[in-house]
Amino acid sequence: MKNPHWRSRAGLLWLLAALGLVFAVTPVLAGSTSSIGKSSERALKNDAEGSFEVLEQANQYAEARTAPADTVDAGAFTGAYAAAASLPLAPGTWDEITTKPYNSDAQGYRDPVWSNSGGGAGVVGGRTTALAIDGSTLYAGAADGGVWKLQGGTWTPLTDDAPSLSIGALAVDSSHGLWVGTGEANTSSDSYAGTGVLFSNDGGANFVRVGGDELQNTTIGRIVFANGYALAATSRGLYRHAVSPTTGAWTPVLKQGIAPLPASCSQSGGVSGNAFVSDVAVEPTTGAVDAVVGWRAGSNCNGFYRSTDRNWLYQAWTPGW
């Protein structure tokens, strides 16, 4: 997804090469007979080995989720979900044999970079990545904990059986329909892509997927409504779909290769990629749509774009705009 895992093997190799150069130069600078120099060299080497272990752990974390390839095929998760749903059910009952409360805080894992141990984690759904309000009802979406509904002082999970629990956006339309953008839009190493947009017209009791596979394996950071359409800001561009009906394909309206974005849109390091639309908003007075193409590490297409009739014009940033 990033794809699910946005990581750079080249960056890792570069870092290791730089560390190797430091090891080679340090004895010369310190003096081969200096005890202080040798001590500094050992300290540096120990620090470097610790950093290498952290990087290696991160790489293993990512590769275990994409193996045997570097990225997850777009339909892999949906296929696995369908296969799981078709498994036969065996009669019988389950008895709980554990009595201790669940606690996700790994006390034995105290790495300062990758571990949240000590943060007081208990029963958690992960980062809260989206909120939506419908009257007195509050909906919350978690990074990999699905959608929750707060009503009358009680939280209820809504999407435990959905094909994706990774949530990036929530929105409620004028008819009280709930729109769920799957795929956490934070560009961290443990964000997962989703399976598109889910819709419920009964407060989350039942969901259908909006459109087809157009948004499969993307992340969705925002859903807004304008002129009878839902607009989804995704990791592959800005897409539009009629609010009703929810059938039919999503249409790209701001994407790599669609004017004014050139086909040569590239991410940091010259990697060819789709225009990462990180946010979208509708101007309340004019109805114009503003979108941000904002790949975090830089892109030749990054910028603010504005449309009043689906014709997108580049907007250079100015203070107070």
Per residue in 246-257, pLDDT tens? 999 999 988 888
Which of the pair, 226 or 317, is modelled with greater confidence?
226
* DSSP at 135: T
Residue 230: the pLDDT is 95
Return the top range by mean pLDDT from 30-34, 60-64, 81-85: 81-85
Scanning the structure block, which residue is given the tokens 């777009």? 74
Residue 201: the pLDDT is 95
The pLDDT confidence band at residue 39, using thresholds 50, 70 and 90, is low
Which of the pair, 271 or 314, is modelled with greater confidence?
314
Residue 161: the pLDDT is 87
pTM of the model: 0.71
- Return the closest-CA partner of residue 293 out of 307, 284, 283, 96: 307
In one-letter notation, the amino acid at residue 263 is A
The pLDDT confidence band at residue 198, using thresholds 50, 70 and 90, is very high
State the Cα torsion 146-151-156-157 to the nearest 10°.
-20
Query: Which of 57-61, 130-134, 195-199, 225-229 is predicted least confidently?
Result: 57-61
pLDDT at 124 over 70: no
In one-letter notation, the amino acid at residue 122 is G
CATH fold of 128-315: Methylamine Dehydrogenase; Chain H (2.130.10)
- 236-248 pLDDT, tens digit each: 899 999 999 999 9
- 166-180 pLDDT, tens digit each: 999 999 999 999 999
How would DSSP label each residue in 142-153?
ETTTEEEEEETT
Residues 53-68 have a mean pLDDT of 68
Residue 94: the pLDDT is 85
Domain boundaries, the chain: 9-72, 128-315
